[in-house]
């Protein structure tokens, strides 16, 4: 494991792993914590070829613990009405395997986990969108959650105020895919494709993506709807529906958000000062190269910021949507 200086205030680096190979890459690149999901719709990256079997989860947990790294299991979809067994089995198996925490949003599932696996730490998923001290306390009082992953709606000063009023840890998103809508309360994907983050663990799923060659233009579609259109020579992007070009009031624009990725390197010292405990990198669906490079870049940036210096901006543009980044809601001007 990489030696690093432990300073008084730093951020726990929480990294994504969609496969066992990515998991080991994250640990080797300097993750403090790695999160992953099981190979079914109990987690919000329910993509073909991704995620962990029970055996792989057990192996990953052993690998993490041997390296002083924690493993978090994402159980961040909502139990299917009338058919909760997959979620219950996931809680029971995760407890037996010995994961360090479970990340959950569903009130019914939190209740089940608090009752049936009380000793396993519970983190409140971003999908619960707890955005105030009261909202957080409700989950603390009811389900004894020990950490809240904050929705991408708060500014850094608002996060600092929140941390003064709650007595559990906060985790914030630091890099990768950027939900511009409040998480866990968005049905845009199911309106277009019938598949939603909350119920199916997917958003703008690849199964519904089509590209149409219209001569001088390449059109990207999600289901029946055109999400974007690219001129010859323009780089075509994935049709994430909230990052498309639409027309409103006679004007064509990226109405909701440009194709862009979240990147907080420029505000890392502010997040540390705001009392944030952990920084989460998005991207369980990304490959091993993404994991290795992004985790290593953030390891360096966090250690630099924790030592009181200003971290240099790493070049991660190849891993960004549209090659661009934003600090998103962390800065008030974004609203």
Partner 1 sequence: MTKQTKDMTLTLGPVLFNWPLEKWRDFYFRIADEAPVDHVIVGEIVCSKREPFFTPHLPDIIERLEAAGKTVILASPILVMNKRERTAVSSLFEAGYTVETNDTTALQMLGNKAFTVGPFINVYNEASRAYFERLGAERISLPGELPITSIKAIAENARVPIEVFAFGRMPLAISARCYHARAEGLSKDSCRYVCAQDPDGMEVATLDGQPFLAVNGVQTLSHACYNAITDLGALAAAGVSALRLSPHDRDMVEVTSLFRSVLDGQVDSSTAARTLAEQEDAFPLCNGFLHGKEGFTAAERLAEAERLAEFA
Residues 6+ apart with CB under 8 A from 322: 235, 237, 243, 258, 259, 260, 261
Q: Choose among 154, 127, 128, 131: nearest CA to 334.
A: 154
Check residue 208 and report its DSSP letter: G
**What are the C-alpha distances in Å from 128 to residues 24, 133, 213?**
29, 14, 40
Q: Determine the interface stretch with partner 1 among 8-16, 57-65, 239-247, 276-284 (rule: CB under 8 A).
A: 239-247
Of 92, 226, 304, 331, the residue at the interface with partner 1 (CB under 8 A) is 226
Residues of this chain, 95-124, that bind partner 1 according to CB under 8 A: 105-109, 111-112
Nearest distance, CB of residue 105 and partner 1, angstroms:
7
Measured CA to CA, the distance from residue 109 to residue 117 in angstroms comes to 11
If binding is defined by CB under 8 A, does position 30 make contact with partner 1?
Answer: no
Q: Which is nearer to partner 1, 6 or 248 (CB)?
A: 248
Nearest distance, CB of residue 253 and partner 1, angstroms:
7
Measured CA to CA, the distance from residue 236 to residue 209 in angstroms comes to 13
Measured CA to CA, the distance from residue 272 to residue 262 in angstroms comes to 17
Q: Which is nearer to partner 1, 63 or 225 (CB)?
A: 225
Residues of this chain, 165-224, that bind partner 1 according to CB under 8 A: 180-182, 184-188, 190-194, 196, 198-199, 219, 223-224
Give the SS3 label for residue 127.
Answer: helix
Q: Which is nearer to partner 1, 16 or 184 (CB)?
A: 184
Q: Which is nearer to partner 1, 30 or 174 (CB)?
A: 174
The contact pattern for partner 1, residues 130-169, with x = CB under 8 A and - = no contact, is: xxxxxx-xxx-x----------xxx---x--x--------
Residues of this chain, 251-280, that bind partner 1 according to CB under 8 A: 251-253, 255-257
- Please report which helix (H) or strand (E) contains residue 164, including its range: helix 156-165
Measured CA to CA, the distance from residue 64 to residue 25 in angstroms comes to 11
Residues of this chain, 66-85, that bind partner 1 according to CB under 8 A: 78-84
Size of the site for partner 1 (CB under 8 A): 73
Q: Which is nearer to partner 1, 34 or 178 (CB)?
A: 178
Measured CA to CA, the distance from residue 26 to residue 16 in angstroms comes to 7
Nearest distance, CB of residue 257 and partner 1, angstroms:
8
């Amino acid at each position: 494991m990489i030696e690093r200086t432990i300073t008084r205030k730093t951020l726990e680096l929480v990294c994504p792993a969609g496969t066992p190979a990515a998991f080991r890459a994250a640990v080797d690149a300097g993750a403090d914590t790695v999160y992953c999901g099981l190979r079914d719709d109990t987690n919000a990256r329910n993509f073909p070829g991704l995620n962990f079997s029970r055996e792989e989860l057990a192996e990953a947990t052993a690998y993490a613990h041997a390296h002083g790294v924690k493993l978090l299991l994402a159980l961040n979809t909502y139990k299917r009405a009338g058919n909760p067994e997959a979620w219950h089995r996931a809680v029971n198996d995760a407890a037996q395997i010995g994961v360090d925490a479970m990340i959950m949003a569903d009130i019914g599932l939190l209740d089940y986990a608090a009752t049936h696996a009380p000793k396993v730490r519970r983190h409140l998923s971003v999908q619960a969108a707890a955005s105030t001290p009261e909202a957080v306390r409700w989950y603390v009082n009811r389900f004894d959650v020990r950490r809240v992953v904050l929705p991408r709606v708060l500014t850094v000063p608002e996060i600092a105020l929140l941390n003064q009023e709650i007595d559990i840890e906060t985790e914030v998103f630091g890099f990768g895919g950027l939900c511009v809508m409040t998480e866990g309360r968005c049905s845009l994907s199911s309106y277009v494709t019938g598949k939603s983050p909350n119920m199916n663990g997917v958003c703008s799923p690849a199964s519904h993506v089509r590209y149409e060659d219209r001569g001088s233009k390449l059109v990207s579609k999600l289901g029946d709807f055109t999400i974007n259109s690219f001129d010859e020579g323009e780089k075509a992007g994935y049709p994430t529906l909230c990052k498309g070009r639409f027309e409103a009031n006679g004007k064509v624009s990226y109405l909701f958000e440009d194709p862009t990725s979240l990147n907080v390197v420029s505000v890392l010292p502010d997040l540390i000062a705001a009392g944030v405990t952990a920084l989460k990198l998005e991207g369980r669906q990304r490959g091993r190269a993404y994991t290795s490079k992004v985790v290593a870049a953030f390891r360096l940036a966090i250690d630099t910021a924790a030592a009181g210096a200003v971290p240099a901006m790493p070049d991660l543009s190849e891993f960004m949507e549209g090659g661009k980044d934003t600090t998103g809601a962390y800065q008030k001007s974004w609203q």
